[in-house]
Copies of this chain bind each other. A is one copy, B any other.
Amino acid sequence: MTIENISINKSFGGWHKQYSHHSETLNCNMRFAIFLPPQVSNGEKVPVLYWLSGLTCTDENFMQKAGAHRVAAELGIAIVAPDTSPRGEGVADDEGYDLGQGAGFYVNATQAPWNRHYHMYDYVVHELPKLIESTFPVSDKRSIAGHSMGGHGALTIGMLNPQRYRAMSAFSPISNPVNCPWGQKAFTAYLGKDTDSWRSHDASELMRQATQFIPVKVDQGESDDFLAEQLKPETLEAAAKASGYPLELTLHEGYDHSYYFIAGFIEDHLRFHARHLNG
């Protein structure tokens, strides 16, 4: 695997770096960003939080807007932010912002034309961590978090792989995609009309049936324009009650779906992950 560095910025004593590499899983070139905290200078192998972004985002949104580097530098945590879909001229796309490039939904597509490139689940769970752990001074302690579509990704990937992640968290996740317009559109395209295959990528379904638990924290703004139609945290909460999943769900008065909300509470998420990554 070859990997090419394309930018470096010193940040809070650590380093924000962007790389491009050819992904075998996605069959295209991909860019990702990594924040390496200052502790790596001492030869420490640091744990890694994977951050999955929402619709239309790239590796850059979280790194530029979340204000996460300050606390990650203090706690000694690396953060990896992949792109939100395969990219490039030969990659299938759609005119909508909520399907195709920028909207991979962290599943493995089974339907043409999407199945040629759209295998974000395998990329995030397998190929990317393998690349990260063989390239950077990091340990194999991992956790996962995300926002909106990426919150859906973090929760489903965490619950499908409890042995691979110490903890998971989400801001404003699409909690029940089989029952909302964003999820139904994407799953129909990527997974086909047979809704049976959708359930293993629905956080509420997985949480309702879970028997193995990892720590999970979810924050949701009450003034989020997408709350009622697309996000449905009450479904996730009911699922957690049904299975006894130890979900920490907090609603926040007045906050919306933007990065201003994420920036305001990312410190809580990073300290939550650090407790489980370093515990």
Q: Is A258 interfacial (CB-CB < 8 Å)?
A: yes
Chain A interface, number of residues (Cβ within 8 angstroms) = 22
- In the complex, the chain B residue whose C-beta lies closest to that of A7 is B258
Overall SS of chain A's interface = mixed
Q: How distant is A166 from chain B, measured CB to nearest CB, in Å?
A: 26
Q: Which residues in B have their C-beta under 8 angstroms from that of A256?
A: 9-10
CA gap between A254 and B259 in the complex, in Å: 27
CA gap between A223 and B259 in the complex, in Å: 29
CA gap between A256 and B260 in the complex, in Å: 25
Q: Which residues in B have their C-beta under 8 angstroms from that of A9?
A: 256, 258, 260-261
- In the complex, the chain B residue whose C-beta lies closest to that of A257 is B9
Q: How distant is A252 from chain B, measured CB to nearest CB, in Å?
A: 8
Q: Interface code A63-80, partner B: CB below 8 Å = 1, 0 otherwise?
A: 011010110000000000
Inter-subunit contact B70/A260 (CB<8 Å): no
Q: How distant is A38 from chain B, measured CB to nearest CB, in Å?
A: 11
Q: Interface code A209-244, partner B: CB below 8 Å = 1, 0 otherwise?
A: 000000000000101000000000000000000000
Q: Which residues in B have their C-beta under 8 angstroms from that of A67?
A: 67, 70, 263
CA gap between A255 and B65 in the complex, in Å: 18
Q: How distant is A72 from chain B, measured CB to nearest CB, in Å?
A: 12
18 contacts between A and B (CB under 8 A): A9-B256, A9-B258, A10-B223, A10-B264, A12-B263, A13-B264, A16-B260, A64-B64, A64-B65, A64-B259, A65-B65, A67-B67, A67-B70, A67-B263, A69-B260, A69-B263, A69-B264, A70-B263
Closest 10 CB pairs of A and B: A67-B67, A11-B260, A10-B254, A9-B260, A10-B255, A12-B264, A64-B65, A9-B258, A9-B256, A16-B260
